[in-house]
Amino acid sequence: GAVVSQHPSWVICKSGTSVKIECRSLDFQATTMFWYRQFPKQSLMLMATSNEGSKATYEQGVEKDKFLINHASLTLSTLTVTSAHPEDSSFYICSAPSYGYTFGSGTRLTVV
Protein backbone atom coordinates (compact mmCIF):
# COMPACT_ATOMS: atom_id res chain seq x y z
CA GLY A 1 0.00 0.00 0.00
CA ALA A 2 0.88 3.66 -0.18
CA VAL A 3 3.43 4.82 2.40
CA VAL A 4 4.43 8.31 3.49
CA SER A 5 7.64 8.47 5.47
CA GLN A 6 7.94 11.41 7.86
CA HIS A 7 11.08 12.52 9.67
CA PRO A 8 12.02 13.28 12.32
CA SER A 9 9.48 11.56 14.54
CA TRP A 10 10.35 13.87 17.38
CA VAL A 11 12.57 16.90 17.83
CA ILE A 12 13.47 19.24 20.64
CA CYS A 13 14.85 22.62 19.69
CA LYS A 14 15.72 25.87 21.34
CA SER A 15 13.53 28.90 21.00
CA GLY A 16 14.54 30.99 17.99
CA THR A 17 15.94 28.14 15.93
CA SER A 18 14.41 26.55 12.84
CA VAL A 19 13.28 22.98 12.36
CA LYS A 20 12.70 21.13 9.10
CA ILE A 21 10.25 18.27 8.79
CA GLU A 22 10.31 16.00 5.75
CA CYS A 23 7.63 13.87 4.21
CA ARG A 24 8.43 11.44 1.44
CA SER A 25 6.04 9.32 -0.56
CA LEU A 26 7.84 6.00 -0.90
CA ASP A 27 5.89 4.09 -3.50
CA PHE A 28 3.79 6.66 -5.26
CA GLN A 29 4.05 10.18 -6.58
CA ALA A 30 2.52 12.83 -4.38
CA THR A 31 1.77 15.93 -6.40
CA THR A 32 -0.09 17.27 -3.38
CA MET A 33 0.75 17.14 0.32
CA PHE A 34 -1.38 18.40 3.17
CA TRP A 35 0.23 19.63 6.38
CA TYR A 36 -1.66 19.46 9.65
CA ARG A 37 -0.97 20.50 13.20
CA GLN A 38 -2.51 18.76 16.18
CA PHE A 39 -2.42 20.06 19.74
CA PRO A 40 -3.00 17.60 22.61
CA LYS A 41 -6.53 16.25 22.73
CA GLN A 42 -7.54 18.35 19.75
CA SER A 43 -8.33 17.70 16.13
CA LEU A 44 -6.07 17.91 13.11
CA MET A 45 -6.01 21.47 11.84
CA LEU A 46 -5.06 21.94 8.22
CA MET A 47 -2.19 24.41 7.93
CA ALA A 48 -1.38 24.37 4.24
CA THR A 49 -1.44 22.44 1.01
CA SER A 50 1.75 22.01 -0.96
CA ASN A 51 1.81 21.28 -4.66
CA GLU A 52 4.82 20.13 -6.60
CA GLY A 53 6.12 22.93 -8.76
CA SER A 54 4.00 25.72 -7.34
CA LYS A 55 3.59 27.78 -4.20
CA ALA A 56 1.87 26.32 -1.20
CA THR A 57 -1.63 27.38 -0.27
CA TYR A 58 -1.97 28.41 3.37
CA GLU A 59 -5.11 28.27 5.46
CA GLN A 60 -6.39 31.43 7.03
CA GLY A 61 -4.44 32.43 10.10
CA VAL A 62 -1.33 30.42 9.26
CA GLU A 63 1.80 32.55 8.85
CA LYS A 64 3.45 31.61 5.59
CA ASP A 65 6.73 33.25 6.57
CA LYS A 66 6.87 31.21 9.74
CA PHE A 67 5.87 27.88 8.27
CA LEU A 68 7.83 27.50 5.08
CA ILE A 69 6.63 24.74 2.81
CA ASN A 70 8.53 23.39 -0.15
CA HIS A 71 7.44 20.66 -2.50
CA ALA A 72 10.71 20.00 -4.28
CA SER A 73 9.75 16.88 -6.17
CA LEU A 74 6.92 14.43 -6.70
CA THR A 75 8.09 12.47 -3.67
CA LEU A 76 9.28 15.11 -1.19
CA SER A 77 7.56 17.89 0.69
CA THR A 78 9.11 19.78 3.60
CA LEU A 79 7.80 22.02 6.35
CA THR A 80 10.23 24.36 8.07
CA VAL A 81 9.19 26.01 11.30
CA THR A 82 11.27 29.17 11.43
CA SER A 83 12.22 31.04 14.58
CA ALA A 84 10.36 28.48 16.64
CA HIS A 85 8.76 29.48 19.93
CA PRO A 86 7.28 27.35 22.72
CA GLU A 87 3.77 27.95 21.39
CA ASP A 88 4.82 26.18 18.18
CA SER A 89 5.23 22.97 20.16
CA SER A 90 2.78 20.54 18.63
CA PHE A 91 2.32 17.35 16.63
CA TYR A 92 2.83 18.02 12.92
CA ILE A 93 1.65 15.48 10.40
CA CYS A 94 1.53 15.31 6.63
CA SER A 95 -0.93 13.55 4.39
CA ALA A 96 -0.94 12.75 0.70
CA PRO A 97 -3.86 11.70 -1.48
CA SER A 98 -3.50 8.03 -2.31
CA TYR A 99 -6.29 5.49 -2.03
CA GLY A 100 -7.95 8.02 0.19
CA TYR A 101 -5.39 9.91 2.22
CA THR A 102 -2.12 8.42 3.49
CA PHE A 103 -0.65 9.98 6.61
CA GLY A 104 2.94 10.24 7.69
CA SER A 105 3.80 9.06 11.18
CA GLY A 106 3.91 12.60 12.55
CA THR A 107 6.56 14.77 14.18
CA ARG A 108 6.39 15.77 17.83
CA LEU A 109 8.02 19.21 18.07
CA THR A 110 8.98 20.60 21.45
CA VAL A 111 10.43 24.09 21.62
CA VAL A 112 12.24 24.93 24.84
Partner 1 sequence: GENVEQHPSTLSVQEGDSAVIKCTYSDSASNYFPWYKQELGKRPQLIIDIRSNVGEKKDQRIAVTLNKTAKHFSLHITETQPEDSAVYFCAASESGTSYDKVIFGPGTSLSVIP
> Which residues sit at the interface with partner 1, rule CB under 8 A?
32, 34, 36, 41-46, 49, 93, 95, 97, 100-101, 103-106, 108
Least distance in angstroms from the C-beta of 3 to partner 1? 11
CB of 13 or CB of 44, closer to partner 1: 44
Q: Residue 55 CB, nearest distance to partner 1 (Å)?
A: 15
Residue closer to partner 1 (CB basis): 32 or 89: 32
35-62 as b/e: b if 16+ CB within 10 A: bbbeeeeeeeeebbbbebeeebebeeeb
Contact status, residue 2 vs residue 100, Cβ threshold 8 Å: no
Between 36 and 88, CB nearer to partner 1: 36
Kindly state the smallest distance separating residue 57's Cβ from partner 1, in Å: 9
Q: Report the distance separating Cα 26 and Cα 41, nearest Å.
A: 29
**What's the rounded Cα separation, in Å, for the pair 112 and 102?**
31
C-alpha radius of gyration, the chain, whole number: 13
Nearer to partner 1, 45 or 76 (CB): 45
Q: How far is the CB of 7 from partner 1 (least distance, A)?
A: 13
